[in-house]
Amino acid sequence: MHEILIAGFGGQGILFAGKFLAYEALLEDKQVSWLPSYGPEMRGGTANCSITISDEPIGSPIVSKPTVLVAMNGPSLDKYESEVKPGGYIFVDSSLISRKVTRTDVNVFYIPATQLASDNEMGGLANMIILGKVIKEANVIPFENVPRAMGKVVSAKKQALLDKNIKAVEIGYTYAE
Amino acid sequence: MAEKVLMKGNEALAEAAIMAGCRHYLGYPITPQTEVAAYMAKRMPQIDGVFLQAESEIAAINMVIGVASTGKRVMTSSSSPGIALKSEGLSYLAGCNLPALVVNVQRGGPGLGGIQPSQSDYFQATKSAGHGDFRMLVLAPASVQEMVDMTITGFELADKYRMTSMILADGTMGQMMEPVVLDTKEIKTFDKPWAANGTDGKRPHNIINSLCLEAKELEEWNIERYKMYSEIEENEVRYEEYMMEDAEICIVAFGVAARVSRNAIQAARAKGIKVGMIRPITLWPFPKKPLLAAADKVKAFVSVELSMGQMIEDVELAIRCKKPVLLANRVGGIIPSPEEVLAKIEEADKMGGNN
């Protein structure tokens, strides 16, 4: 069972990244739940999103002890680092978070997702870049299924966006520290 | 099998209403149920339906009374403070014996409170939706699939008994996405010879009215309605038992609290504590009989709620105070964690033998 927590600022595409993972899990015929923590502000507030993927029916949809934490800003890492299950994974957007993870019982990956996004003229797609790394390292979903799931969450009318999102996942997937 | 799609609870509920034949939605936006209104605003014009954002919650519920009078399936939705504003209209719907579906995606209160999930409108929904003696059928979904199924059931029961069905969800059920199958069942419809929908000059007028100045007659109306309510208490109770076969402790929880409780039950079972759950699906009529039967088997109950302890009163009444009932709760928009529920289960487990 994967209990994934993606956390950052509103506007970083936190909820969308979670939705993409949830859709892929659905296509794999897994049990899945997606729950946003919702704030009244559209941008700038904190946003996080719980995704549970399981073979068994899911009880609580709230992820309080994640197996995978994706931290896209400093406050999120500060808040959730201690909650990650031992042996779990922490993914850090190192262009926005300068400090290192202090835990030694978890697998940690640093990726400058926001920097990579702007280098590749993909402003706003740091979320998908960091997900690429998650897919590579945490075995959450098979990489070859990415286009299929993306087709479900990006409307066919926005073909350019679809390709761009898939490319962003690839950049993260192939990124070597 | 029909295709599974990933949908938010609020959107799935709105689509289910359309499947159930609802072509009139009257509402007013409020977090965390706004997606219901947003979805209806998009869908209703595509199917020749009516979406109307009223000037207030009070206006919306009075428009519901109007549509219901014509015999059409109609719904409104809101969240806690908005439902409070509708209370006069809910009473009028009851007084007029009109069917309608009202959805409350609850948020923390009292007052404007917050926008995070809550179950603190339990009393309001089950006991005091408005003035006068009346009941609403109250359905409490615990998954996005149940948001769909109960919306359809809610419309059917409303028509069958000519009364209001309420979906009492919480912010979590509205906001979460889960895989859901939409076309799950046949939709039942009911003849409505009472509807004020034109006589064609062939029959006397139907009059929809809640005013009755003759005391004896008004008493009769109330007694008749309560005869129907006892029939409903006999026939329409819905609940789910989970791991109750050998349980020594019984959790009672609905909605998201029941989801969290499942995790706590699994953790407690791993520690050798025999605990199960009775999950009320209808909050009114409340599953009194299964709870009373459980009282002879278990040593204690734990009521898990996102309120300061509202349903716990119904649990104590249902079991006639035969066994202790503990409360595991968080409020203000916070959901109790499985660990917190587990701690309460362990406390209950220490409470003496089965006597």
CB contacts under 8 A, B 260-289 vs A, are: 260-263, 266
- Per residue in B12-45, pLDDT (tens digit) is 999 999 999 999 999 999 999 999 999 999 999 9
CB contact, 8 Å: B332 with chain A? no
- Amino acid at site B308: M
The answer, for B242 touching chain A at a CB cutoff of 8 Å, is no
pLDDT value of position B45: 97
pLDDT in tens, A27-80: 989 999 999 986 665 566 778 999 999 999 999 999 989 999 999 999 999 999
pLDDT at residue B1 is higher than 60:
no
pLDDT digits (tens, 9 = 90+) for B122-143: 999 999 999 999 999 999 999 9
pLDDT score, position B92: 98
How many distinct structural domains can be found in chain A? 1
Looking from the CA of A29 toward its CB, the CA atoms found within 13 Å total: 2
Residue A155 with chain B: CB contacts under 8 Å = none
CA of B260 to nearest chain A CA: how many angstroms apart?
4
CATH number of the domain bearing residue A81: 3.40.920.10
Name the percent of chain B in helix, strand, coil, to the closest 5: 40, 20, 40
**Residue in B176, B179, B263 nearest the CB of A35:** B176
**B179 to A59: CB separation less than 8 angstroms, yes or no:** no
Task: Write out chain A residues lying below 8 Å of B259, CB-based.
Answer: 58-61
Identify the CA nearest to A90 among candidates A127, A142, A134, A37: A134
Chain B residues with beta carbon closer than 8 angstroms to that of A61: 172, 176, 178, 256, 259
Report phi then psi at A25, rounded to 5: -65, -40
Kindly state whether B6 is in contact with chain A, defined as any CB-CB distance less than 8 angstroms: yes
Q: Which residues contact B72 (CB under 8 A, 6 or more apart)?
A: B23, B24
The CATH topology of domain B241-349 is Rossmann fold (3.40.50)
Domain B4-235 belongs in CATH node 3.40.50.970: yes
**CB nearest A60 (choices: B6, B31, B338):** B338
When pLDDT is cut at 50, 70 and 90, the band that residue B355 belongs to is very low
Are residues A59 and B259, on separate chains, in Cβ contact within 8 Å?
yes
Domain that holds residue A48: 2-174
Cross-chain Cβ contact A64/B337 below 8 Å: yes
DSSP B245-314: TT-SEEEEE-HHHHHHHHHHHHHHHHTT--EEEEEESEEES--HHHHHHHHTT-SEEEEEESSSSSHHHH
The answer to whether B177 contacts A34, with C-beta atoms less than 8 Å apart, is yes
Look over chain B and give the mean of its residue pLDDT values, rounded to a whole number. 96
Residues 126-165 of A with CB under 8 A from B: 152
Domains B4-235 and B241-349 in one fold: yes
The angle formed by the CA atoms of residues A142, A5 and A51, to the nearest 5 degrees, is 60
Say whether A60 and B262 touch across the interface (CB within 8 A): yes
Domain ranges of chain B: 4-235, 241-349
pLDDT category at A177 given cuts 50, 70, 90 is confident
The amino acid at residue B276 is: G
